[in-house]
A and B are shown apart, each in its own frame.
Chain A
């Protein structure tokens, strides 16, 4: 559940000097019950009647007013600066899909606390981790590669011609959807002997690969009895210094993700069962 996952990043957000609150149309007692049962300590704000949701212009207008779910917002996440001005906003277009807060934070270049593996390759090293240790179907999370080229070495950015660009190649497997990869803006490198300009990375850089556990019928079937998923792949690159280019390399990487079933527990029903 999204709120539990947010609670798990509360320390990272505090360290980053960022506040956190989540808003829904639930009345205060529902929120109090949920917070107590699930250990939520950050503010869950009650917009009963959805006045704030309407004022923001994010009321889910596709729900019929006679439906008990009327009053839902379009689910979304706002990042604001210290004056409250929006720096980024994420509204997921597909009902069953959602990016984790951890994934959104790393895509913005922020640090999160996650168990990482450091792999030394020829002429660079790679520290890699998954943004989330557990994920549910439809969750977008990220595989992060923090790459540090050795001194005076550069590697090639996507779009280069004549050299092998850096690439994260994930081995396909049922239930895993490989989505967009985010690469930083490259530097322009002028190689005088050949009088050519090429896009490169020479300083530490981050690749963020968005991955999803497939919520479709086929994906659900493939992940039905899976509790831990291992994603494997290789980081491919060609390193050069100011005189020579070295042989292209392929560095094997892997990540383990716990697969959690969808959490459909309802606050009130649970409460009744406990009494």
Chain B
């Protein structure tokens, strides 16, 4: 009986104990579940913060970062409405277009009401946050006394709300607010995390401000450089011009001992000018002020011309220069001057850094998914580049290494500038290289808007009388943005017997100059689209127009600058009309008298140039037959003077080429040679030439040349008048 009792007591105790254990277990589970749920919330908070941090670091704009924050916070809290207010300079919050709305239609009226409001410090939820610079929570906005939007919030079914400041340093720059569709008591965890979100977003704004300040400083620096370069160029041009005059004098009075030092001054000054031009170019690009003059042009002559220009430099290091460019490559639409500059830079670099090697320039057309590309590559067998040098190659102001500068000279800017130009035109310059084996630089540019054939020149303005229509009325192109000036100039020049065509701006002027090849151009300086200086530089920089004399007509009295840029004359407005007519008549005396002098002897060429110039001829020069063909492709001279013995392509070959081309066959040729012609030579010349002159005493020869040329032209003129 007693043992039964004991057993019952024992059982009761065990039951009690089991019951205790079960309760303890239930409690443990509850604790674990709560801990897990807290862990989950923490994880979500960390994810939100991570999202915001990444957005803060990577978003390209402040708006993007804000938008990410709105989405992230709304997803985290499952609240349907989020909005950003930005503080203006007066310290008031302005509504922005940055919203998160789960249901835009439902919250339409709330959005409109918000966007119509501004919040001063301490007014409403955003104002309170602005004032206190910390997050705030309203459990139910419809019952809050400081919530001006309570009515419209109630209509939209919005109840709880919180907002946090976006702090840049100590300053509130924006306030972000969120609303729930049910009332909710403040959640400290949410408010804490929102304070973090706010400071992350603030960093985006701080960073953006710093970047803007930096950019502005950089632009100021570039602007300063541009101004300084300009200030430097003006006197430098004077130095060059005056020294060249002194050289001329020295030459004329045979003071031989002065040539060399004067030549050194000119060369040093030109080098300095080139350096300054590089700096000016780069700072213009940096300041975003570099403009491209895009037009359609034939590619082959440009490439050929660059190769010709570099010929001497390449020969100096015993390099052979090869050109692979088919004339079928056709046209492209880009800034010709800049492409020429970039290519010139690449080829001259190749020539500098290669000795006893081969430089190959090849141009081709490539079709890719992205459209048609023009690919021009310059390969050399020179010193090449290490991977490290390659990395620094395109950086501004950096040459492959410092010793390179000492050995090879240069500013180290050329490549960086060339690349920027190509990038501005939608392309790039890339390099492949192996140290000791050589380098290949490749320019890739979109062929863009390229007509399949040569562009058809548009019909000229109605006033135009084509130069070709009348030899007696030389065509003058008047470029001026002022309608009245154009009319008056046209009137006076027509009365003086000129044919006149007009252009109302620089771009149109450049186009007409290329298409119409006028006898002369009058050019205004102050024009809205392209100023006259730029137009003048472009005219003189384009071989197709470089020979056209330009008279500047402007109220800006900067004669020296005009002359240094290649202007033929300078008229200050108001223009003396008869004076202008006189100037133009002087210029046009030589109109239609173009002569191409082909001779490898530098002295001979310059002697002829000066003599012919004085007599009003426009002289183009070529140092061999190949170059002559390139010049001929650019513009057709009235007469050609050819030396027979030349490197690369001699006079005989050139004559052969001339005869086989219909366009050139009729051009009178004067052969000038130091060679005693054999019968065989005479047979090869086979008539077809105006006259053969033996090189001997200079003055004698020159006057003889002039005589023959004059006769040529007179006969031509007579013919062209006779033939209707």
A-B interaction: no
Q: Which residues of B contact A (CB under 8 A)?
A: none
